[in-house]
Amino acid sequence: MTAGCGPGDKLAFHHPGDLHVVGHYLCIPSSPGDHLSYYLLSYSADQYQSPLAYEDNIDRKYPDTCFIANVKKPADYNLLYIINGMKYRVDFVVNEEGDLKIIRR
């Protein structure tokens, strides 16, 4: 049996996720009836060690799936989240101009 690395174990979050930016907020797409129970945002500047935004054991319902994120540029980011029990992962980069680009792996 292989042990994970805790609630943010990146290997467990294998479904490709998505996100969009609304002002200073990062928003996880959701639909009526969806429940967001976890999210963790980290970035490359500190080797993904310290979360920039994190909530666990929550029950955010559509449309309340946005959170404030002070993204720094340029940097690579990783967002892990759980909606309706499904674990999603989004890798993205923010360039010098502040543009966000999702990296599909």
* Residue spans per domain, the chain: 10-97
> How far is 32 from 8, CA to CA, in rounded Å?
26
Query: Can the peptide bond before residue 63 be classed as cis, meaning omega within 30 degrees of 0?
Result: yes
Was domain 10-97 assigned CATH 1.10.287? no
Tokens of 29: 């797409």
pLDDT of residue 45: 80
> Are 82 and 36 a contacting pair, CB within 8 Å?
yes
Whether pLDDT at 42 is above 70:
yes
**Between residues 73 and 68, which one has the greater pLDDT?**
68
Asked if 84 and 72 touch (Cβ cutoff 8 Å), the reply is no
Q: Do residues 91 and 15 touch, judged by C-beta distance below 8 A?
A: no
Other CB atoms within a 10 A radius of the CB of residue 41 amount to 20
- Supply the pLDDT for residue 8: 52
Per-residue model confidence (pLDDT) at position 6: 45
